[in-house]
Amino acid sequence: MTHSFFNSLANRLLFQGYLSKKDGHEIKEASFHVRLLKKEDALKMFALSQKIYSSLKPEEKTFIHKHEDISYYKNITDDRSMAYMGVFHKGTLIGMSYIKICADLQTFSNEIPNQTSQAFDDNSFVATFGGDCVLPAYRGNKLNQIMVRIRKELAQKIGCQEAYAIIDRNNINNLTPYFANHFSLISSGIDPTDNGPIYTMQIGLKRSNTGRIRTPSQFAFASVKDKERIDNLLAQNFQGVRYDTLYQIMEFIRKPTLIYTQKRVLVTHPQQRKDLQYV
């Protein structure tokens, strides 16, 4: 089912839009489009990966695996449960990411360490996202946010109950596209493959029949840069959502929404530096 679904999208544009900036400067009439990547795109994917790594600053971290051999990209279509998508501008690949559909717990555990999902108890699918990257010159156009949204929509169409992603804790900017798409920050830990620190993001994709939203019984503010505080709150069963998401939850009577909520919510807010606790 997954393979045939991805095949049906092989020659279709998933999104079209316009870039607003390049190298930090405003540009006009610069169109881009998003489509699934094919074996024929292997050279472009390899070139993009090399450019991403060559442009990294010494203090920067990225959660995209560096592949020294182009054969990795030539063989991406061999995994029928996975699909890469790419952002193109004037024929140049400027960003890419992948979606993988997990049908069992073992496959899921290989993608998202230290987590489990009850979806497999119902023989349902779970989607995992990864490989998010955009060339530095084109950052600031919300391209990663767009790719997260597209993958979320694809996962829903396939019938996934949940979607997950892991983010390098040293690259907190990568949290933004997921918070913008209403993912929650549910845990922090260590990636066993490279011992790197990671955050785990999650969203429920199954539509609720009740439509009822309850105000969280507790919530707390934390800066996304305050890793120690976030770790402590996660250990107390808080979960992270974007600041304006909480505002929507608190105003749910006047502004009905289907945003996934928890009983206890950690609200990550870059400008909020005080340790405020509301009960």
Residues 102, 126: Cα–Cα separation, whole Å: 5
181 and 222 belong to one structural domain: no
Beta strands in 11-69 (DSSP E): 13-22, 25-36
121 and 81 belong to one structural domain: yes
Is 197 a domain residue? no
Is 135 within 8 Å of 86 (Cβ atoms)?
A: no
The whole-number pLDDT of residue 86 equals: 97
Contacts of residue 93, Cβ cutoff 8 Å, sequence gap at least 6? 37, 41, 44, 45, 47, 48, 86, 87
Number of domains in the chain: 2
Domain interval for residue 29: 2-191
219 and 118 belong to one structural domain: no
pLDDT at 160 over 60: yes
Model pLDDT for residues 84-122, shown as the tens digit of each residue: 999 999 999 999 999 999 999 999 999 998 898 988 988
Please give the model's pTM, rounded to 2 decimal places. 0.85
Model pLDDT for residues 123-141, shown as the tens digit of each residue: 899 999 999 999 999 999 9
Model pLDDT for residues 187-215, shown as the tens digit of each residue: 998 888 778 889 999 999 976 544 444 55
221 and 158 belong to one structural domain: no
Q: For all residues of the chain together, what is the average pLDDT?
A: 82
Is 196 a domain residue? no
68 and 141 belong to one structural domain: yes
